[in-house]
Amino acid sequence: MIERFYVDLSYLRSSTTGVAVYATRLAQHLEGRFDCQVLAPPQFFDTFSRAVAVPEPWHFHNATLGRAPFGRLGRRVRFGRRTFVYAPHMRPFLSAANQAVTIHDLIHHDYPTRNLVENTFNNTVLPHLLRHITAILTVSQTSKLALCDLYGLSPDRVKVVPNGIDLAEWRPSGRPPTSDPPY
């Protein structure tokens, strides 16, 4: 039985695109439907009703180096056997055994950054963590096969949850053009 459910945004920096937007909106959805708390750095804290304030992640220039220690702010966070942590990004905790993570694609593998810390994590720590966490989520069958192949994962451990379209924000432009627009 799960006693504590955390949605982890502690690794994210503020952004108006990409994983930060995806993770924030997914965390809002989960908070509205489940008894969970969001681990949120200051830039996300006001977005959630029951957030646990955690420090902003450490970063150097444009690269995130890792989570800052939670210290006094995170004393309410306990990773016991009855805790479930969901990371809607590819950075699971080292210390939480019962957790799920979303990995959208293998861009981190195909196009490594110049950040030594991120490359080291992606090439050594992440493969080890993926073998031991509860669930790995991805957005397509193609990504699932690539994850299983790269990390030697059993296909039954990787679940496909396709991205959806938010109809409140997406508006089709009408009929498709009858001819190609000028270049």
pLDDT tens across 23-73, in order?
A: 898 999 999 999 999 998 888 888 899 888 888 888 777 677 778 777 655
pLDDT at 181: 57
pLDDT at 87: 93
Residue 183 has pLDDT above 60, yes or no: no
Closest to 102 measured CA to CA, from 23, 30, 41: 23
> 97 or 145: whose pLDDT is higher?
145
Helices of type H across the chain = 18-33, 42-45, 107-110, 116-120, 126-132, 141-151
pLDDT at 15: 74
**H or E stretch covering 87:** strand 83-87
